[in-house]
Structure 1
Amino acid sequence: MKQTYTLLLLLVTLLTACSDPEDQPPVLRGTVSGKVNVYNEYNEPEPAEGVTVQALVGNTTLEASVDENGNYTITNVPYGQWTYLISKPGFKQHYKKDFNLSEEKATLDFSISRAPSFYVDRAEFYVHNDDQIRANVLLSEAVPAGKEFTLVTYVGKTANVSYEDYLFNSIAGFTSTGEENVQLLPSISVDDLKTNYGFTSGDTIYFMVYPGAARLYGYWEGKEYKVEAGLNPSLAVTFTLTLP
């Protein structure tokens, strides 16, 4: 019985060793190309020089640089799900996008924006007309008149609120008047906080305010916009308000 088992094992080993590699299904590969549009913090075009496009899966990284017009091409990409990272020196965040390659040629365009250098120096949050939450904001420096920018407010129940840990966010866009003082009108109401997020009178609300570029990039997840590029996390400041 032992000899029979040994002979069968030897036969299987020989058949495996002698199998033709060409009988194995080929790994399908394709080419991903596109353009990276680059903007400064005021939504104005910026040179694409220095932009790198990377395709990542597991421990494998495929990389390409863009030309002077922002065009790139990555060849010999195996079919399947890849994460794409777009980076440029001086930009605080990379734009990431998952993409499933399932054809010989695919086009994938990206846009990234530089995060602003200013921050919110002070903010006084208050309740307007017994319901709407507003804030008087002092920026660290005046944004040039006529330029656009955003303030992104993340709301939470603890001091650990951040763009990665929060209940919801509110994005407010501005056209600068050239002054450091702005009034922030986030889409936040007392009734909504109590009805949908479990707050009660006397609770402390935590607001983390991020300076944002005129154009933010990310993706929608239900009714929530997940910002991936255009924010400067290192310049965020937290403020509080006691709910009436």
Structure 2
Amino acid sequence: MNIPTAQRIRLALENDIVDGRFQPGDRIDPDAIAANYGCSRTPVREALQALEASGLLIVQPKRGTFVTKLGVAQLMERFELMAQMEAFCARLACRRAEDADHRRIEASLSACELAAKAGDSDRYYAENTEFHQAIYHAAHNAFLEAETLRLQAILQPYRRRQLQARGRVRTSLAEHRQIARAIRDGAEDEAARAMQDHVLIQGERFRDLVALLERLDRRA
């Protein structure tokens, strides 16, 4: 099946932002994208509009289109909401997860363990994303899954950087094990609480996040 050019561009740019090839605050060059895809500006414009609507890009009149860069207060608001949404996904997964869901969660947890053992933070980041998405799906609420995925995409550049902090991968993996075990046991309150604590930014992780934003400001 042929995917429309605008959709291919949108997916590619979304992956570039989520995977860190474009950083918060980076400017997007529509002409370069059009040249890269050998297309007119129309599908590029459609792709950028879709990414703006999703919150990944922001258009600044007379300046251009940029990857969304969130301030500390904005990030805290979104992480607070993300923690509640993911906690609800974990709670629902305790009630609704099917055998295939449990297998997917366990497989992604095993992949996280292998990446952590190898000391590969980039690989762990990818497997970490799959672990969380497996739980969103296991909640069996399509609207909740779609909205959680949307917010996850916006926060991914910041979550990725956090995993590069010393000791964070090891701690994250221990939290994953606790979450997976609670879902497997059907322990709703434990799963929700563990997921909320896992996602919420606080303590040293908050200070790391502030330091990240300061570095991004210096790059601007």
> Smaller-chain TM-score range?
under 0.3
Structure having the higher helix fraction is: 2
Which one scores higher on RCO, CA 8 angstroms, separation ≥ 6? Answer: 2
Larger Rg: 1
Structure having the higher strand fraction is: 1
Q: Under a length normalisation based on structure 2, what TM-score does the superposition of the two structures give? A: 0.27
